[in-house]
Amino acid sequence: MSLRFAIVVFPGSNCDHDSHYVAETILGQEARLVWHKESSLGDVDVVILPGGFSYGDYLRCGALARFSPIMRDVVRFANNGGVVFGICNGFQILVEAGLLPGVLLRNSSLKFVCKYIHLRVENAQTVFTSQCAKGEVLQIPIAHGDGNYFTDQETLKRLEDRNQIVFRYSDATGAITDEANPNGSLSNIAGIINERGNVMGMMPHPERASDPTLRHTDGRKVFDSIVESFVSQTQLT
């Protein structure tokens, strides 16, 4: 069985081909790039909203991509329980579209940060992290100027209570510290999932840490988890 990945391409996406490469070449699944002006995703199992600078980050990051024709179908797909994964700019689009709570503000340093960071897996019982262990530390790069996650206290509490915080920025030992927080994110949040558990957004780039040629392969665990979730589902039915 082969999974069908759809990677949405917005004007200004620049990690679309990386995601496509990981899905097709590294994971050996079917992958298709879908132009944002299309109205239907077609028959797919997983949708990736890739990183980049959709619409040049005009107005607010992700604010305009949200109105692209394809997003109507992405929202429908997500509301039907389809697996949607937003990476970096894709995460920003998901919060603007209201599929995930909160917002991504300018980095507290005001600088674009491009480097490897450490992430602690906070919830390993999701479609996106089943191949990780709770508390495991992953090394994955970030590359963003607006990754400073923020939400009100009430929403933060709800995210914590319902175990929706999937990744936090940590040091190499897994300690959650201010020094390990690259962008000022509230509570070191690097990635969150919706309540239903089918939509996740994260600022770090797992697709840039999946090919052994690039040395770091921790990101692959996220993609392997997605594939595994479908395999185990099939075995159950």
Partner 1 sequence: MYHSKILVTLRQSILDPQGKAVEHGTHSLGYERVRNVRIGKFVELDVDAASREEAEKITKEVSEKLLANPVMEDFSFTIEKK
Burial class (CB in 10 A: 0-12, 13-18, 19+), 44: buried
Q: Is 61 a catalytic residue?
A: no
Q: Is 88 a catalytic residue?
A: yes
Q: Which is nearer to partner 1, 101 or 174 (CB)?
A: 101
CA 170 – CA 136 distance, rounded (Å) = 10
Residues 101-140, interacting with partner 1 (CB under 8 A): 102-103, 105-110
Residue 60 as a binder of partner 1 (CB under 8 A): the answer is yes
Show the site string, 30-59: x = touches partner 1 by CB under 8 A, - = not: -----------------------------x
The pair of three-digit structure tokens given for residue 159, joined into one six-digit string: 């995210």
Residue listed under structure tokens 């936090």? 168
Residue 63 as a binder of partner 1 (CB under 8 A): the answer is yes
CA 101 – CA 210 distance, rounded (Å) = 28
Q: Which is nearer to partner 1, 57 or 207 (CB)?
A: 57
* CA nearest neighbour of 184 among 127, 122, 105, 118: 105
Q: Which is nearer to partner 1, 127 or 189 (CB)?
A: 189
Q: Which is nearer to partner 1, 105 or 137 (CB)?
A: 105
Task: Out of 15, 61, 88, 132, pick the active-site residue.
Answer: 88
Q: Is 96 a catalytic residue?
A: no
Q: Which of 123, 151, 181, 198 binds partner 1 (CB under 8 A)?
A: 151
Please provide the size of the chain in residues. Answer: 237
Strand 83-87 relative to strand 199-202, pairing: parallel
H helix runs in 120-204, sequence order: 153-161
Catalytic sites, residue numbers: 88, 205, 207
Binding site for partner 1 (CB under 8 A): 59-60, 63, 67, 95-96, 102-103, 105-110, 150-152, 184
